[in-house]
Structure 1
């Protein structure tokens, strides 16, 4: 009568090891949630197996020595769909490359939680809505390219606090209002703002007026 109990004790650890619901970490869960939102006609996400211990062996994902996801490279992958708040769970992410796809919808404000981010390339998609003010929390950000989308509203003044920002491009959108001049915005060329409804740089020392925004 003791044999079934012994067998159960032996089998239970094996179940814990191989159970798919228990083997994926939070970053893997976040990326798999992203995959569920995307249409992937070229199967570039085929290797994204949620039963693995972590996503570091997945194609287009780069991890550091501690198995934290630091880079997501899905630029020019012919994917479509939308982004969700789960991307904000990738706390160690440094490079977010989603350029030249067909991604629609709003840019999630939760991307502002990616405080290690150095580069965010979302250009060449079909994003709409406003640029999230939460991006002001991205103190390490150097490259922010949002050009060639359908973004509306004004450029958030909160972004003038991004002292490390070297490249900023919002050309070919539907933005309105005036162009900030404080912080790093005094050094960006006018080409960064081309083909919008922007009314030109604001005057230093005056409260900005967002025309029609």
Structure 2
């Protein structure tokens, strides 16, 4: 039998050295998020892409089937942007990203997270419009987008979110009028304040003119 050449052993050698990236789609999605974020205090240091799934990572909570159901990254001193990869967390119920320095547009793909109950993105630098795709989040109860740089109008499609209990878009740059149908009938003035171009029945007497969009 002919002896194995040194070169024929190289592929096996490199396979042993190179880490196997997780084939778990949720782990891949979270690792993609990590690449988009600047993490000066190493909050995400436990996010090891070589693991089979991300359930052992800090700030990640899974259910009994090893599906990611909660992501807690609020007040973590992070900056950067979000991408469409987060839509791969199909079982996610709580997305907590509040009080960071995350900028850019809110990905419309977040509207595909059908199990989402709470979406807290307040206290960042998100810009652009509130995605109309959020109307697909039929389980959503808490939506806090206050203290950002959001523009455009409040999507009328959100009036179909019958489970929505808390809605806060204060301290942005929204315009147009405030919806009054569906759950919007019970939201307080404080949910909409400090949007200089926003008008509506709830704000009559406080904002005398409808500046439009």
Deviation at 1:135, TM superposition (A): 0.1
Q: Secondary structure at the match of 1:103?
A: strand
Counterpart mapping for 1:1-213 below 5 A: 1=1, 19-21=19-21, 23-196=22-195, 197-201=197-201, 211-213=211-213
**TM-score, normalized by length of structure 1?**
0.87
TM-score normalised per structure 2: 0.87
Q: Is the 8 A contact 1:47 1:58 kept in 2?
A: yes
State how far apart, in whole Å, the 1-side matches of 2:82 and 2:19 are: 28
Q: Secondary structure at the match of 2:134?
A: helix
User: What is the aligned length?
Assistant: 197
Distance 1:55 1:3, change over 3 A: farther
**How far 1:24 sits from its partner (Å)?**
3.4
**Distance in 1 between residues matched to 2:89 and 2:191, nearest whole Å:** 28
CA distance in 2, matches of 1:65, 1:2: 52
Q: How far did 1:20 drift?
A: 1.1
* Stretches (4+) displaced over 2 A: 1-4
Using the TM superposition, give the Cα deviation of residue 212 of structure 1 relative to its aligned residue in structure 2, in angstroms: 3.0
Mapped contact 1:76–1:98 kept (Cα < 8 A): yes
Measure how far apart 1:199 and its partner are: 1.1
Structure 2: gaps (5+ residues): 203-209
What is the aligned-residue RMSD (CA, Å)?
Answer: 2.0
In structure 1, C-alpha distance between the alignment counterparts of 2:126 and 2:52, rounded to whole Å: 32
Give structure 1 stretches of 5+ with no counterpart: 203-209
1:167-190 per-residue CA deviation (whole Å, 9 max, x = no partner) reads 000000000000000000000001
Give, in angstroms, the shift of residue 81 of structure 1.
Answer: 0.3
What CA distance in whole angstroms lies between the structure 1 residues aligned with 2:36 and 2:111? 20
